[in-house]
A and B are shown apart, each in its own frame.
Chain A
């Protein structure tokens, strides 16, 4: 893990890393990656891909319309709300 790679991951995660933080974050992150690298020593060849996705219990919902939350209730928690719409900041990018 180097600085360029860390910044790329941060960009994918939509997080900014200040220049002053890079060194300590890189150090922590490298140690954590080194720590989780331990699993590479575990033989998992006996586990098939199908087994990973096995779920024991499922109660799948029927695809039926139900009463959801009321628009007025949701409006109360929206940052900006006008005339029945949630207002988001204007973004025009070319």
Chain B
């Protein structure tokens, strides 16, 4: 039999439900794998082995007694360290929340518990989800399982690396400017940023509230579809969740390429690496040979997406992170005994350099004299970007782009240059600004064996179409990726 840890999500689901696999055996195999390889990958901030095994045993007992909670009962899933779970530490990989234990479950966690999933908490991330490489964690740098000298992407680098490293079949992350899709691409797996409003953000520690969205990673597409159906839906605890028809995983089916209009971009404008450019071109050629119609789109607004994103995201983060003041929970440094000193000492010692940098930029763009020129202007530019996407979807069925302009870069390669680091998200941020859904699909490897990702974008709340195209992409030989057995 195939080693348990190398089973796909779909194989796991089938085997648990036909009785040929016990959750405890599966979870034990993953724990053993984590103990063997995570000292190299550093995806987990913490592993509570006893609690995890207890959840698996309880699932097996339910199965034996015919009281299963769902067809997903006993499936293990990793959780990014910014999604609250009752009684567990949720630190956002920050010193300021190092010892914070959540007194409540995020809505997505409640939904997973209701279905019987086995939760593996505390996947490493860029501090407060700010970063593109998982080098901004206050505790450790996560490594790419394909090459541990390289970054896994960010900010959900831990969530991507556990799946790519075969330490779990599925996980949850969050995506504010590409933080699910970019690490999924660099780690050779599937990662979805759903439509803004599709999934409740209640219990997701906020970075930029108008952009953040929780989403799944998986080692196969079925895991993405199933998780989206489970965790999405209207939630009265989050007033930005949408009143729309629920997504149904069984609505996803392969599309016939013939006659489909695929929006594409001119690659040379965005400094794609040679390998990424070649792979993108080759995929498009193959789709054209199958009858798809390629429609070049004018992405001229894309060059403004990163500046607009950073102005809006940092303005929202300066407001959201003002609650971390040293008074109510988290790190407290009393300083001289004056209130202002307590605030500033706690925040100065609790936040890392990138978080401080973004709080400063946000405070600057919201401050008197600069508001209209920066924050106000960025909001108007965001409207134009939203309108541009709406125009695109009048003439095409779907948009195909590379997810990241390059494959995984080396640890430390971009840490000294914030602008260069921000540009790693050039192809993903506009999607968050527009609020549309997008998925990163595995799209083969470069000449050195590093994964390449293909980003597919559809219109608002059309995840069925998005995942149907993704399913057809999964059937292309040119896009297949094998996850690494050995981690070196």
Contact = CB atoms under 8 A, between A and B. Distances in A.
Interface in A6-39: 6, 9-10, 12-16, 25, 28-29, 31-33, 35-39
14 contacts: A9-B360, A9-B363, A9-B367, A14-B340, A25-B360, A32-B357, A33-B361, A33-B364, A36-B365, A37-B307, A39-B307, A56-B197, A61-B239, A89-B342
Q: How large is the interface on A (under 10, 10 to 19, 20 to 34, 35 or more residues)?
A: 35 or more
Interface of B: 100-104, 197, 234-237, 239-244, 301, 303-304, 306-308, 310-311, 318, 322, 325, 327-329, 332, 334, 337-340, 342-345, 347-348, 351, 356-357, 359-361, 363-365, 367, 373-374, 377-384, 418-419, 422, 435, 460
A9 B307 contact: no
Contacts of A36: 307, 310-311, 361, 365, 374, 378
B342 A15 contact: no
Contact of B104 (A16, A25, A69, A90): A69
Contacts of A35: 306-307, 419, 422
A77 B101 contact: yes
Interface in A52-94: 52, 55-61, 69-70, 73-74, 76-79, 86, 88-91, 93
The B interface, classified by DSSP as helix, strand, loop or mixed, is: helix
A39 B311 contact: yes
Given A55-B240, A86-B328, A89-B342, 14 more contacts: A9-B363, A12-B367, A14-B343, A15-B344, A15-B356, A29-B360, A35-B307, A39-B378, A51-B383, A57-B197, A57-B244, A58-B239, A61-B236, A79-B328
B418 A28 contact: yes
Contact of A76 (B101, B327, B379): B101
Nearest to B334: A89
Contacts of B310: 32, 36
A44 B418 contact: no
Contact of A14 (B240, B338, B347, B381): B347
Contacts of A16: 344-345, 348
